[in-house]
């Protein structure tokens, strides 16, 4: 279960780096703002500062997940680095999962995005709990 959790934590981080790229780097490109349901170029321009900021939240969660994966992979089970790694994985992937839940409760039109954003962190957390509780 350890490898399953680490794989899903890594994939969760990779997805959140992709989301960061869209929100913070390519937000005003039509292909990006249309994906997020923004109605016009003018709306994309006016929401750019919010998206930029939100993108960095996603990047920081991804970096935390990556560091957590690296610490667990490089440390012996039960060591301080492994405990720190699991803490980062549970914290970062748990935050990703909770953000997906908030998105899902925002409205039915966001359910697909919430499922995309939340499935891998959910699997990382569940597999991680099974791994550390054995």
Helix axes 80-106, 111-132, angle to 10 degrees: 150
Structural domain spans, the chain: 2-132
The answer to whether residue 78 scores a pLDDT higher than 90 is no
Predicted confidence (pLDDT) per residue in 6-32, tens digit:
999 999 999 999 999 999 999 999 999
Residue 72 pLDDT class (50, 70, 90 cuts): very high
What is the model's pLDDT at position 77?
Answer: 85
The CB-side HSE value for 93 (13 A sphere, CA atoms) comes to 32
pLDDT at 134 over 90: no
Whole-angstrom Cα Rg for the chain: 16
| Average pLDDT taken over every residue of the chain | 96
């Amino acid at each position: 279960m350890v490898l399953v959790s680490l794989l899903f934590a890594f994939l969760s981080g990779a997805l959140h780096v992709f989301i960061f790229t869209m929100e913070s780097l390519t937000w005003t490109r039509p292909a990006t703002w249309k994906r997020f349901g923004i109605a016009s170029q003018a709306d994309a321009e006016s929401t750019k500062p919010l998206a930029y900021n939100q993108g960095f939240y996603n990047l920081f969660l991804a970096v935390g997940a990556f560091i957590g994966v690296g610490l667990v992979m490089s440390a012996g089970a039960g060591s301080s680095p492994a405990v720190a790694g699991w803490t980062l994985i549970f914290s970062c992937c748990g935050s990703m999962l909770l953000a997906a839940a908030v998105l899902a409760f925002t409205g039915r039109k966001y359910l697909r995005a919430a499922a995309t954003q939340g499935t891998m962190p959910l699997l990382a957390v569940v597999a991680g709990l099974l791994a550390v509780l054995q």
